[in-house]
Structures are given as C-alpha cells and as structure tokens.
Amino acid sequence: MAKNLIFTDKEAEFLRELVRQKVEFMIVDLSAAALQGAPVVTQDVDLWFRDLGDPGIQKALKKVKGSYVAPVGTNPPMFAGQAVNLFDVVLHMHGLGSFDKEARHCLRVNLGRQKVPVLSLERIIKSKKATGRQKDKLVLPVLVDTLTVIREREKKPKRK
C-alpha cells in the first residue's frame, strides 16, 4: 500500500475521528485507488457514508471545525471548512451495489495508528467501467495495470 501523501494533518484527523466515532464510511474512487498504490492524481477525496444522519459525522466535523451543508436542489450534500474542503460526499457508486454490499469489498489502509476503509481497486475498476465517461475510460488502463501488479506481488512467496 502507498504511504499516505495526500492528506494534511487536519484532513487525516477528520478521517481518524470518523473512525473513532465508528461512522460507517469508505474512501472511494481515484483517491482510494491512489491509497492502494495506483499512480493517479485527483483533486478531491470521495467519501461514501452508510448514513449521512450518523451523529458521529457531526462530531468529527466539529472536532476539525468543519460543517455539513445539506443538499439544496441539484446541489449534493457537502462539507465546509478548511480541514474538510478536500472531501466530497458520494451518494452512490455507478455499477456497484448498496453501501452495505460494497462495504464487504473494503480494505483497511493505515492512516497513522488507525486504519481507514477504502473501496477495493477491483470495485473501483468496475464502477469506472459502468460510468463510461471519457475521463474514466482514460484512467482504466492505469488502474488495471496497478491491480495486476498487486496481484502478482500477492502471489510471490514472502522472503524471510
């Protein structure tokens, strides 16, 4: 797994606080792929929550001086505040099942002394294929190559 290089201390604190509050969430999309070693860049970190009404989200936001902005019209829910500007709220993932079903495909990636849930690269690839946008088609070869490398590494016996 790649070393965390994408989060500031405050952003990491927000994610760790979500874990401490036992909020059911996962990091998805390209940021999740990057945390698994894919050589990709993205301008945001997509978070998918089981229940946006979970009081632990508000507690985590308060801890980092962030706030929740409810959806209005066609605008999706979002977070506001310096420590949480990087994060986007995802309501569903194209081509995938419900949050509960996809939570079974999460990995736990180290973030300091805690682990955060990250959607597996296999499921990210499936979603990118289902979405079918040009920008998703362009990144698919990189994601597939990364998954191939990961699987090859897993096959090799570990040295003592």
Looking at residue 48, its amino acid is W
Distance CA 122, CA 83 (A): 29
Q: What CATH number has the domain bearing residue 60? A: 3.30.460
pLDDT in the model for residue 114:
84
pLDDT in the model for residue 18:
97
Q: Does the residue 2 lie in any domain?
A: no
Q: Does the residue 3 lie in any domain?
A: no
pLDDT in the model for residue 86:
93
Q: Does the residue 46 lie in any domain?
A: yes
Expressed in angstroms, the distance from the first to the final Cα of the chain is: 20
The torsion defined by the Cα of 52, 56, 58 and 64, in degrees rounded to 10, comes to: -130
Domain that holds residue 102: 9-155
> Average pLDDT for consecutive 10-residue bins of the chain (160 residues)?
65 94 97 93 93 97 96 93 95 95 93 90 96 92 94 79
pLDDT in the model for residue 1:
43
| Residue 76 DSSP class | P
Give the dihedral sign, CA 2/27/138/143: positive
pLDDT in the model for residue 69:
95
User: Which token pair is 110?
Assistant: 């180290």
pLDDT in the model for residue 30:
94
Distance CA 110, CA 35 (A): 9
Q: Does the residue 107 lie in any domain?
A: yes
Q: How many structural domains does the chain have?
A: 1
pLDDT in the model for residue 155:
86
Looking at residue 65, its amino acid is K
pTM of the model: 0.90
Residue 38 contacts by C-beta under 8 Å, 6 or more apart in sequence? Answer: 30, 121, 142, 143, 146
pLDDT in the model for residue 132:
87
Q: Does the residue 43 lie in any domain?
A: yes
Q: Does the residue 1 lie in any domain?
A: no
